[in-house]
Amino acid sequence: MTRARVVVVGVGAVVLVLAVVVGLLARGVVTAARTEEAAGAATRAATALTPVLLGYDWRTLDADVARIDTATTGPFAEQNRAIVASLVVPAAVGTRASSSATVQRVAVVTAAPRRVETLVLYAQTTARNGAPGETVARSARVVLEPDDDDRWLVAGFDAS
């Protein structure tokens, strides 16, 4: 192999390596931008949807249950439907209860372009049998994922 050929092969190899590195960096930048966008959208969704999931009034339960159902997605949607039907509705009717939540703060725990886990701090007020409601500070791990229309919905809710 001649010296010129060695130089050409060497330069070609360097160019190839640099092209791969640039491609990987570009992919990383795009993924980071998508992740940042997802974190922002999911934070806004967690702020808006937490009160939807936790809000109901025994006098308007049918509408409240339908509204709650529109806030969830994936396997969690079916789990939440079952919990609402078997626990929330009977308790709300039996004690003439109403509940509302106000989000205080949302923090992103982990984020990826199609799944964001947040920590939501909220105040929940529950009134029963006409008595004034008691407000309790709470927190929840709220997982959000976009649906087919890229609307971020609750895919998991674990209150503590």
Tens digits of per-residue pLDDT, 132-151?
888 999 999 999 999 888 89
Question: Residue 151: its pLDDT value, please?
Answer: 93
Q: Compute CA distances 31 → 5, 43, 117, 123, whole Å.
A: 39, 18, 17, 34
- Are 58 and 98 in contact, with CB atoms under 8 Å apart? yes
Separation between Cα atoms, residue 49 and residue 40, nearest integer Å: 14
Does the pLDDT value for residue 23 go beyond 80?
no
Q: Is 2's pLDDT higher than 60? A: yes
List, in sequence order, every beta strand (DSSP E) within the chain. Answer: 56-57, 98-112, 115-127, 134-146, 152-159
Q: What's residue 33's pLDDT?
A: 75
Q: Token digits for 20? A: 């791969």
Lowest mean pLDDT among 8-12, 26-30, 128-132, 153-157: 26-30
Q: How far is CA 156 from the centre of its chain?
A: 8
Q: Reply yes or no on whether the pLDDT at 155 is more than 60.
A: yes
Mean pLDDT of the 83-103 span: 95
**Please, what is the average pLDDT of the chain?**
89
- Tokens representing residue 49 in the block: 């949807």
Supply the pTM of this predicted model.
Answer: 0.80
pLDDT in tens, 29-52: 556 678 899 999 999 999 999 999
Q: Is the pLDDT of residue 54 over 90?
A: yes
